[in-house]
Amino acid sequence: MTDQGQACGFPHLEPVIKEYESALRVPLHLHRPFRFFSKPRGEPGFHLHLFALLKQFPWMSWMGETPMTGLPIAFGHPLREGARQVLMLPGRMGKGIALRDDEGNALACLHHRNIFILFDLAGQAEELAPLLLRLLLDRSLKLMSADLVAQSGLHPDRVEFILVGLRRTTGMQESAWREKRRDFARRQFQDGRWAQIGGEISFLETEIRPTEEALEIASRQITAETRHLQEYRRRLRHLRGELINDEAHLVRELDLLSKHPDVADVTASPSGLRVITRRIRAAHGGKQFSLGAFQIDLLYNGEITIYNVTSRHGYYDHPHIWNGKPCLGNVRQGLAKLIGEYQLAAASEVVIDFLKTINPKDWHTSIEHWREISDTEDSAALSPGTLKPIH
């Protein structure tokens, strides 16, 4: 099967392409493949194949379903739901070099003048896709600098200077994007909390008057109802004070959680908080295991669900989690108290610690189902743009 020609329908990516072409004096071409396989191009410039594998043999695109796996984050940024897949590189392959992000995910394959993008970059949000394209180009072109010098006719020092400038621009745009995401999460968290507290205030205001009437009618309930009345009024004063004075505390709490080393993304809604973790590792029996990345949902009504988004074993998300339902044991009481007090950031940290703790007496299934890793292996410590040959 042949590839389609120059990709169209992605105007939000064109400014990035033009900026890099103008700076480097080398054309960049976008190609949209058919059935996830694309032929390498030899024409001048660099060729970006969107969501494609390197097509090395004529029969590759007829081998059946293309192998894919889940990819919740790329370059440290959460991907859009519905577009969280990445093409899996063959176990043995004679051509190309894998480009990995800081989490160790293979996101592209470099072959001569071709960059095969393995995840659905074009399917991401229009504000995020250009940033992901810049990150990918910065890391790829640095490793293809010899060909870049030959095509542009520029001195190698000049090419390196230009690439450093482009990476600096990418860094500023990435910082702005992260700040925008944090602001959005804070607003969602605050809006949800205001709505929740406002509903409870309305409930308490309607309950005060019937309680006062009950005191007049049922004298034998005076003691009990008086205590209820005092508690309602105390809670009402407390909640009204929180609406005015607690906003700064909420912002600090959410910011602190977003900077947690095991947290990749935090989003809030009127119903609660969602946390996407980085890959979690746990120790058992003197061994280290990689359990994968998790989606934690903490709802204001006390409901807690935890799903493994990268390394699920059947219905088991974790040795202590079956089909999203965690067996929290004596941790649950403390979590319920934190959620009841709207301390969702602190509750999230408790859940992350729970994911790292393994108790063979209480698990649903053995941790041996997950991948064992060495003590020195730490995919999160890979430097940006780390390359590993494809065997």
Q: Answer whether residue 380 is part of any domain.
A: no
**What pLDDT sits at residue 283?**
92
Q: Do 269 and 191 fall into the same domain?
A: no
Q: Answer whether residue 241 is part of any domain.
A: yes
Q: Do 130 and 68 fall into the same domain?
A: yes
- For the record, the structure tokens of 290 come out as 């990689």
How would residue 184 be classed by pLDDT, with cut points 50, 70 and 90? confident
**What pLDDT sits at residue 183?**
84
pLDDT tens for 73-94 read 999 899 999 999 999 887 665 6
How would residue 136 be classed by pLDDT, with cut points 50, 70 and 90? very high
Q: Answer whether residue 1 is part of any domain.
A: no
Q: Do 110 and 230 fall into the same domain?
A: no
Beta bridge partners of 53: 37
How would residue 182 be classed by pLDDT, with cut points 50, 70 and 90? confident
Helical packing angle, 344-355 and 247-258, nearest 10°:
20
Q: Answer whether residue 388 is part of any domain.
A: no
| Candidate from 3-17, 24-38, 312-326, 353-367 with smallest mean pLDDT | 3-17
114 compared with 223, residue with greater pLDDT: 114
Q: For residue 341, what is the DSSP state? A: T
SS3 for 149? helix
Q: Do 276 and 243 fall into the same domain?
A: no
**What pLDDT sits at residue 290?**
94
As a whole number, mean pLDDT of residues 106-115 equals 93
Looking at every residue in the chain, the average pLDDT score rounds to 81
As a whole number, mean pLDDT of residues 49-66 equals 66
Q: Do 101 and 44 fall into the same domain?
A: yes
> For residues 33 and 50, is the Cβ–Cβ distance under 8 A?
yes
Q: Do 70 and 21 fall into the same domain?
A: yes
Q: Answer whether residue 73 is part of any domain.
A: yes
Q: Do 24 and 149 fall into the same domain?
A: yes
In the chain, the N- to C-terminal Cα span, in Å, equals: 26
Q: Do 128 and 203 fall into the same domain?
A: no
Q: Answer whether residue 381 is part of any domain.
A: no
Q: Answer whether residue 136 is part of any domain.
A: yes
**What pLDDT sits at residue 328?**
86
CA neighbours closer than 13 Å in the CB half-sphere of residue 311: 19
Domain boundary among 109, 135, 154: 154
Instruction: Say yes or no to pLDDT of 156 above 90.
Output: yes
CA neighbours closer than 13 Å in the CB half-sphere of residue 186: 18
How far, in Å, CA of 250 to CA of 337, rounded?
A: 17
Q: Do 41 and 107 fall into the same domain?
A: yes
How would residue 232 be classed by pLDDT, with cut points 50, 70 and 90? confident
Contacts of 97 (CB under 8 A, 6+ apart): 109, 110, 111, 143, 387, 388, 389, 390
SS3 for 116? strand
Question: The tokens 């504000």 sit on which residue?
Answer: 127
Q: Do 124 and 213 fall into the same domain?
A: no
| Candidate from 103-107, 251-255, 282-286, 329-333 with smallest mean pLDDT | 251-255
pLDDT tens for 7-57 read 446 888 999 999 999 999 999 999 988 778 888 998 999 999 999 988 764
- pTM for this predicted structure: 0.60
**What pLDDT sits at residue 110?**
94
Q: Answer whether residue 319 is part of any domain.
A: yes
**What pLDDT sits at residue 382?**
33
218 compared with 390, residue with greater pLDDT: 218
The residue segments making up the domain with residue 189 are 185-247
How would residue 389 be classed by pLDDT, with cut points 50, 70 and 90? very low
How would residue 59 be classed by pLDDT, with cut points 50, 70 and 90? very low
**What pLDDT sits at residue 10?**
80
How would residue 203 be classed by pLDDT, with cut points 50, 70 and 90? low
Of 266, 331, 277, the residue nearest 304 (C-alpha):
331
Q: Do 280 and 204 fall into the same domain?
A: no
Domain boundary among 247, 276, 298: 247
**What pLDDT sits at residue 164?**
95
Report how many domains make up the chain. Answer: 3
Q: Do 189 and 149 fall into the same domain?
A: no
> For residues 151 and 26, is the Cβ–Cβ distance under 8 A?
yes
**What pLDDT sits at residue 213?**
62
